[in-house]
Amino acid sequence: MEFIRATGVKATTFYVYNGAALGQQYRGWSPEALRSNRELGTQSNPKVWVMREFENSEKNGLGQPLPKGRARFYRRDDADGRLEFTGENLIDHTPKNETVRLYTGDAFDIVGERKRTD
């Protein structure tokens, strides 16, 4: 069931890269033990997160309490004008005039590489 639909909401897209591929073998380790492990970070995680951030304000086309649920992002294609789905995730209950920041998937055209130099 759709509760709110808004168009023209300005959302900033940014990318987050966490280069260390921390596998299951590091579950339960303390931060001190992780920092002193010489093998930590020798494997690289190539995934880059796509994040979206927007203000829940009247000026940005919203400005009302947002219910907990799925937020979907679309953009209009420059070539043919059709809407393209660009990502989604769940948001928590969000009061008016608050900033919403959420992960909308992994970038498919950007990869990261971590290099250990010392």
> To which residue do tokens 């086309």 refer?
61
3 inside domain: no
111 inside domain: no
16 inside domain: yes
d(CA 95, CA 66): 6
Residue 67, phi then psi, degrees to nearest 5: -75, 155
36 inside domain: yes
CB within 8 Å of 85: residues ≥ 6 apart: 72, 73, 74
Q: Which domain holds residue 59?
A: 11-106
Q: What is the pLDDT of residues 89-116, one digit of tens each?
A: 999 999 999 999 999 999 989 998 877 6
The model's pTM: 0.71
116 inside domain: no
pLDDT at 40 over 80: no
26 inside domain: yes
Number of structural domains in the chain: 1
43 inside domain: yes
Q: What is the pLDDT of residues 41-59, one digit of tens each?
A: 667 778 899 999 999 999 9
What are the tokens at 103?
């992960």
The whole-number pLDDT of residue 93 equals 94
6 inside domain: no
What mean pLDDT comes out for the span 19-29? 73
